[in-house]
Structure 1
Amino acid sequence: MLRILTGILWALLLFVFTCAISFHRLVYDFELFFVLQPNPDWMDFFKLQDFDVSDSEWILRKLGHMAGFFILALLLGNLGRNRWGVYAAILYALATEVMQLFFYRGGRLYDVLIDTAGILLAIWLSRRWSGRVTARS
């Protein structure tokens, strides 16, 4: 129960990070506010213009995406035994990217894939680690 509650709190934190009007202002100026965009441009979800692997700040943000959903996947369940946590994490990754479109943020399909990579990495490491612990017992 504690793990699920912690997962929900982490998911809320991810929502704040992904939907606040400015992540930079949140982190550096401690300003938290949201601006609702009732009619988003749905084609923004498929844009690739801002996909820039040569930009170190962009890479750092994407590593943050992976890390955030890596942690969420670990918190949501026994990844080797119970797939509902994995499915919930992937659905939440999709939901946060779609929600960003409603908050003047750049929700992107490729971010869902990056988030999913963090989730899959958590599964892989969890299974490897649990296999080693079982073998040593």
Structure 2
Amino acid sequence: MMTIGKLGQAAGVKVPTIRYYEQIGLLPEAERSGGNQRLYSRKALDRLTFVRHARELGFTLDAIRDLLSLSDHPDQPCAAADAIAKAQLAEIEKRLARLASLKVELKRMVAQCAGGSIADCRVIEVLGDHSHCSTDHSHREGEGAS
């Protein structure tokens, strides 16, 4: 058994994050010592490591909750887990396309900047009026910037 500090250290997660994951049900409530200190098992460490890694890959908390639920039933087919991962991949591909568009636009803005005064600055002009952009990179509802 390990304390919350040791668990956080072992999983690379901050203590407040562990408490939050407990609060929202991604981690089971910790056992308590006689002094009311949280105590965690190896299973809790494995689960927390799973959550951390899934977050690093950009999965939402809801998707992680679904994946954890699936992992709790190892005899099920993995089609549902595949579907969740495919949806995440599609989101990543959308973000990459949007970032590529942003990169093109920023390069164009910088290349057109003459380096004079702010009154003649192409960067300021383009940022002030989207119609000067060569690509449609505007943020749309549902395309969360994380």
Shared fold per TM-score greater than 0.5: no
Kindly indicate which of the two structures has a greater share of residues assigned to helix: 1
Q: Greater RCO between the two (CA within 8 Å, min separation 6)?
A: 1
TM-score when scaled to structure 1?
0.30
Mark the structure with the bigger radius of gyration.
Answer: 2
